[in-house]
A and B are shown apart, each in its own frame.
Chain A
Amino acid sequence: MKKSTLNLSAEEQSWLAGDGGPALKRAVEIIVALGNIYGATRLIPVKSVQISGVSYRNLGQPGLDFLQRWAAEGAKVRVPTTLNPTAMDMENWAAQGFSGEFAQKQQAVVAAFSQMGVGGGHPVPTCTPYLVGNVPALGDDIAWAESSAVVYANSVLGARTNREGGPGAVAAAITGRTAAYGLHLVENRLATLKVEVKAQPRTISEYSALGALVGQQAGKQIPYFVGLPLEPGSPLALEKLKALGAAMAATGAVALYHVEGITPEARNAPMLATAHQTLVIDDYRPGYALLSDPVAKIDLIWVGCPHSSLAEIAWVAEALAGRKLTIPLWVTCARPVKELALQKGLVDIIESAGGQVFSDACMSIAPVKSLGFNAVATPSAKAAFYLRNLAGVLARFCSLERCIETALDQGREV
């Protein structure tokens, strides 16, 4: 064999030879192929894995068949592994309008992952695993899929992961390994794009709009932000960083960013490469227009992309308190976060206004049109991006306040 750059351990070679059974063989073959493609010289252990490719709408029958076969072959995860959102609320899907047929297929996908030991056999579908106990530490090597979680783990937590794909992440979980390339190597984590922010974003959606603009310019580069008016520990500071990263990972392929003096790696060392480009952002507001269609009537408001934290649900509840919505407003979050929101009475406030809180689900990967929605307003750039490009519906990306104003007035333009 020529041109393979990888040096495998004796154990890894035995897996490749099939000594660990067919499921492990297939997994290590995938890790080795990816390592070769990216020119890695070795495999490294990972502390946790986040799996994407969970929605039945995207996987289809072929994806489900394959996952069931892998599970039946005896595939078992070796490291703590969490699962991306499903298309629907796993318990309350009928209230969202899903058919029993679709629900059965979606449940079968999750059952295959459960059989592999994902989430200890009881996976909690979410794109924010770091809000429900999968919290990597500074410098940890991990193998995460889900672009918004990847950028959060790398940037806000200082862990190290590439943007894994669906089957690649499953293979990493089964082997407990990933190939050492890209962002696992410290020398590849320096920023190459300095972003000077002259505008002063304040709200979560304003950070999302900023991210939409920067992501479009950055592509795969690593941005280094200066001038962000962000106080560590201030209310919703982590949610703003989550929104900023998710947007850049949607309109661009950003997997890591630094914020001067704030994100962990940028606190400890100079993370801006000497040779870098500079981008000046005078105004974040064009980010809203970038991801908005001309829409006469909105028929759903969606908040919770990425999945909402408890503080974000409180923010939505506060904005909705005492108001009466005339079109549906859905908040999506991880199931344990909804439990906390229920205990704090936040779900009651949202439901009294006519909104609903769903667990597990993500509208970007749901068959939104067949649920009867043609135009969705959202305060998330990532949501708008995927609603338009993946779900194939019209979208409006705007502030939470404007979303709510619209929902108070039959979905009309405000």
Chain B
Amino acid sequence: MMDTPDFVFTGRIIKAGTAAGRALVSSEPIGFLGGVDGETGVVTERGHSLEGQCVAGKILVFPSGKGSTVGSYILYQLSVNGVAPAALINAETEPIVAVGAIIGEIPMVDQIPIEKIRAGDYVQISDAIVEIWRNS
């Protein structure tokens, strides 16, 4: 049994599902086309705060999407290649990432106070419920 979570939030379901993993947190938006390598899951956007890190298996936490609408298909590609994030959490999402989560079958919730989540926190998602254990 795990301890009581440090935080519990209820968000809005974008793609229903359950997932658990360590948080990878970006305070800036992510554009998937040209921003994340669909083969490897590594963030490639030059100067991005997550540049060089791999999103595979992580609970990827960021404010919102940005950039080309083709980005939705990159999320699908990440899934097919087995390097997708375990789940996506946005502050307030937009169509590119939302559609990408659905077609890539990646559980996703938004309307979460993402500033409360730190890199390395253990996060569990069950549909709209997000539970967070601080990594101490």
Q: Is there a chain A Cβ closer than 8 Å to B38's Cβ?
A: yes
Q: Is there a chain B Cβ closer than 8 Å to A59's Cβ?
A: yes
Q: Is there a chain A Cβ closer than 8 Å to B15's Cβ?
A: yes
What does DSSP make chain A's interface, helix, strand, loop or mixed? Answer: helix
Contact B38 A30 (CB under 8 A): no
Partner of A29, one of B15, B72, B74: B15
What is the CA–CA distance of A61 and B39 in the complex, to the nearest angstrom? 11
Interface size class of B (residues with CB under 8 A): 20 to 34
Given contacts A37-B94, A37-B98, contact A165 B69 (CB under 8 A): yes
What is the CA–CA distance of A34 and B93 in the complex, to the nearest angstrom? 10
Q: Is there a chain B Cβ closer than 8 Å to A167's Cβ?
A: yes
Contact A167 B80 (CB under 8 A): no
Q: Which of A62-70, A208-216, A221-229 contacts B (4 or more CB under 8 A)?
A: A62-70
Contact B69 A30 (CB under 8 A): no
Q: Is there a chain A Cβ closer than 8 Å to B123's Cβ?
A: no
Residue of A nearest to B92 (CB): A37
Which chain A residues border B103 with CB–CB below 8 Å?
26, 30, 66, 70, 167
Partner of B128, one of A2, A26, A70: A2
Q: Is there a chain B Cβ closer than 8 Å to A232's Cβ?
A: no
**Within the complex, what minimum Cβ distance (angstroms) separates B66 from chain A?**
14
Contact B73 A168 (CB under 8 A): no
Interface size on A, residues (CB 8 A): 25
Q: Is there a chain B Cβ closer than 8 Å to A4's Cβ?
A: yes
Q: Which of B6-14, B19-27, B50-58 contacts A (4 or more CB under 8 A)?
A: B6-14
Q: Is there a chain A Cβ closer than 8 Å to B111's Cβ?
A: yes
Q: Is there a chain A Cβ closer than 8 Å to B70's Cβ?
A: yes
Which chain B residues border A33 with CB–CB below 8 Å?
14-15, 95, 98-99, 101-102
**Within the complex, what minimum Cβ distance (angstroms) separates B8 from chain A?**
13
Q: Is there a chain B Cβ closer than 8 Å to A1's Cβ?
A: yes
Contact A36 B102 (CB under 8 A): no
Given contacts A2-B12, A37-B93, contact A60 B73 (CB under 8 A): yes
- Sorted nearest first, the 3 A-B pairs with minimum C-beta distance are A62-B77, A63-B73, A62-B73
Interface positions of B (Cβ within 8 A of A): 10-15, 38, 69-70, 72-74, 76-77, 80, 93-96, 98-99, 101-103, 111, 127-128
